[in-house]
Chain A
């Protein structure tokens, strides 16, 4: 009952929000929420830390901007093109990065994203340092004009809800269950006969497609695509949003995106202080708050406080892919890890 009430309140809140808050800010939050949910699909549910998601956000923003502005695509076609280009870039990334595991995976995606950044800087259609300016929103399906911020807001809201449903569907599908198995014990999933490699690539492509959709949507909202979205700081920001909100939770990235974009917006005059605040939040989250806001709140709502405290250290959904590579520093300390690595050892030996 209270759950229904909560959902009803959320819906009313979301519908009436543009009359209380500046709609462009809200739309930005929703775009970054899609972006963070896409990242969370990969990191939280697949255990793969990509440090190159800016390439999909920024790359797709340029491509959507180009097809809408120059080729006269309608917004929905522009967004599809954006998502497809995100998926395309993502496929290349995935094929290369899945050749290594753990921390190397993060570094490879980082390096590849840097290539996309330089491409965006030098290709003729991106406008270089100036970016792609004055992208029109046009009319949805050629019928529904989106130039007013309120109608655009509702369009963005619908896209956001569709993405959320799609991601929830993916996570809870049989495909999602296999991903869960791979995240928790890759060796065992392989021995059960799953093509782990293919699953990782497909997940990466899905995540990149949603990130591309977010980039295209953001380009339509603000009317331009610039180097900011394709620079590696955006890759770091999406990690921050997801960690702050709660890795591996459905709503965590949305909360995280709201907070991070809110901070950027309200402290914009403070210049580099925003970067410092983000850095400080990062440090606090990693040191003491690894479950994130939603990750902490959900169990509280369910009133299982005692149980959580017990599991607090082990329940963080992070990749075994990384843990699978030998880790001497782990061995120095702490029984909890000794236990974990002994589990690994038994997997290797019959």
Chain B
């Protein structure tokens, strides 16, 4: 044990760890939002509800179906992705030709429906979610105690984010996706089913939010308001980063998680608003966002 700025290394590093964890949720969520916005031109307000549904799907699978954590980690995002498929096919598809504020308002309405339903059934208090046995416990590094589950969350989300970055920037499918974002009509003329690409993108974004939800479940409890709490922060992250680049979303997410943690260390009262303060500062200095392109 040693001290930095009068704070024990244990406290400092566990705050940093918490920052990195929050940052990994912000990164996954804002990445999904940016992907959806790129392809559908819609800001997906349902993102928070999908995050919450992911956590609940895993909780239900664990408690009602008795499946293992690892199966739930795969199944829950798939379930939510398919609910996203239904949402896209039934509703969003019919709004693409309108102003995209309508897409925003529709997804807002859908999130009210979903969150209202879960609140009706489960209230607002959190349901505990057990850390799987294989990830419980931790390692003592000498200067701090490192819980295994937290390391798993950070590495899993980093892995998923980088995998998505790789798929989009380096594979053929990704090149179709980028081309579709750029000029859908031309891509369609080359014989690529752009409508299917749009649907798949929405499913991917929804699944990613759900994956973040499952990872978050043991750290925060599973509750019907967890999505409503995170969505304003995610929007601020998106404004700060700008939705232009994949890597930009990932980096912005992690950095803001760390900034939030540092604020908690230095001036705890401001930790809830620091991300919005950063948003204001960015708007004043660089309105298009850190990684945004000036139109």
A binds B: yes
- Residues of A that sit less than 8 Å from B by CB: 49, 96, 99-100, 102-104, 106-108, 110-112, 114-115, 118-119, 122, 232, 236, 239-240, 243, 271-276, 278-283, 285-287, 290, 316, 318-319, 322-323, 325-334, 336-337
Say which one of B137-145, B152-160, B280-288 lies at the interface with A: B280-288
Interface pair A279/B112, CB less than 8 Å apart: yes
Chain B 250-285 interface 0/1 with A at a Cβ cutoff of 8 Å (1 = within): 000000000000000000010011001101100110
Residues in B whose Cβ lies below 8 Å from that of A96: 280, 283-284
Chain B interface mostly: helix
Q: Is the pair B112, A276 in contact by a Cβ cutoff of 8 Å?
A: yes
Q: Chain A's nearest CB lies how many Å from the CB of B287? A: 4
CB <8 Å contact, A332 and B184: yes
Chain A binding surface SS class: helix
Q: In the complex, how many angstroms separate the beta carbon of B148 from the nearest chain A beta carbon?
A: 33
Question: Looking at the complex, which one of B42, B115, B116 makes contact with A273 (CB distance below 8 Å)?
Answer: B116
CB under 8 Å from chain A, chain B span 183-226: 183-185, 188, 194-195, 198
Q: How many A-B pairs fall under 8 Å by CB?
A: 166
Interchain CB contact under 8 A, B283 and A331: no
In this assembly, does B79 line the interface, its C-beta being within 8 Å of a C-beta of chain A?
no
| 4 cross-chain pairs, A with B, having the tightest CB-CB distances, nearest first | A282-B109, A279-B112, A275-B116, A279-B113
Q: Is the C-beta of B99 less than 8 angstroms from some C-beta in chain A?
A: yes
B113 touches A286 (CB 8 A): no
Which residues of A sit under 8 angstroms from B104, Cβ to Cβ? 49, 103, 106
Give, as a whole number of angstroms, the nearest-CB distance from A156 to chain B.
28
Q: Could you tell me if A104 and B239 are in contact, using CB atoms closer than 8 angstroms?
A: yes
Is A329 touching B106 in the complex (CB atoms < 8 A)? no
Chain A neighbourhood of B277, CB < 8 A? 115
- For this complex, 14 residue pairs linking A to B, each with C-beta atoms less than 8 Å apart, are A99-B283, A111-B276, A278-B116, A282-B105, A282-B109, A285-B109, A287-B106, A325-B295, A328-B41, A328-B182, A329-B96, A330-B97, A332-B188, A332-B198
Contacts of B115 in A (CB 8 A): 275
Q: Which of A232, A240, A273, A331 contacts B232 (CB 8 A)?
A: A232
Q: Which residue of B lies closest to A275 (CB)?
A: B116
With a cutoff of 8 Å between Cβ atoms, the chain B residues found around residue A100 in the complex are: 239, 283, 287-288
- Chain B residues with CB under 8 Å of A104's CB are 239
New A-B pairs, 4, CB < 8 Å, besides A274-B116, A282-B109, A282-B110: A107-B43, A283-B110, A286-B109, A316-B99
Complex Cα spacing A64 to B284, Å: 30
Q: Which residues of B contact A110 (CB under 8 A)?
A: 232, 235
| Whole-angstrom distance between the Cβ of B183 and the nearest chain A Cβ | 7
In the assembled complex, which residues on chain B have CB atoms less than 8 Å from the CB atom of A119? 273
